[in-house]
């Protein structure tokens, strides 16, 4: 049942040209970051792009199934990590957890920075109002 459903989902996305492909420029940047000396033909980039898009759909589907099992409607980062385990790509989880922790730390720092700027602006406004009266 799952394979049939997944195949139908893939077929639906495939019928809309380009709707499930990663941009080939992004694919090229990723490839060159890993190996700057590699040359890759246009059709190979497009094949990688399509394969990556299918992988993302498959991963999202598995993560969504985990959400449904947990009676949630929103996919969370942990669902992705668990889905990777489920589809036997769990070897990447440690590196992904590190990247996720870094991302969360950066987001928290940005949030705190915005809050600090807002507080400073509020103090500056109240200070200027008190001196003008």
- How far, in Å, CA of 130 to CA of 133, rounded? 6
Closest CA to 26 of 50, 49, 53: 49
- How far, in Å, CA of 5 to CA of 102, rounded? 35
User: Would you give per-residue pLDDT tens digits along the chain (133 residues)?
Assistant: 344 444 444 444 444 454 677 888 888 898 889 899 999 899 998 899 889 889 999 999 999 999 999 999 999 999 999 999 999 998 989 999 999 999 999 999 999 999 999 888 888 887 777 665 5
Q: What is the pLDDT of residue 130?
A: 67
Radius of gyration of the chain (CA): 22
């Amino acid at each position: 049942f799952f394979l049939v459903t997944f195949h139908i989902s893939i077929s639906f996305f495939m019928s809309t040209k380009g709707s499930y492909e990663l941009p080939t420029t992004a694919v090229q940047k990723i490839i060159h970051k890993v190996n700057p000396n590699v040359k890759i033909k246009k059709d190979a980039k497009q094949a990688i792009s399509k394969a990556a898009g299918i992988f993302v759909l498959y991963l999202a589907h598995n993560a969504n199934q985990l959400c449904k099992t947990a009676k949630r409607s929103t996919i969370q980062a942990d669902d992705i990590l668990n889905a990777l385990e489920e589809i036997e790509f769990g070897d990447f989880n440690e590196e992904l957890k590190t990247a996720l922790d870094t991302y969360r730390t950066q987001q928290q720092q940005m949030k705190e920075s915005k809050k600090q700027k807002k507080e400073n602006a509020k103090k500056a406004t109240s200070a200027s109002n008190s001196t003008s009266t």
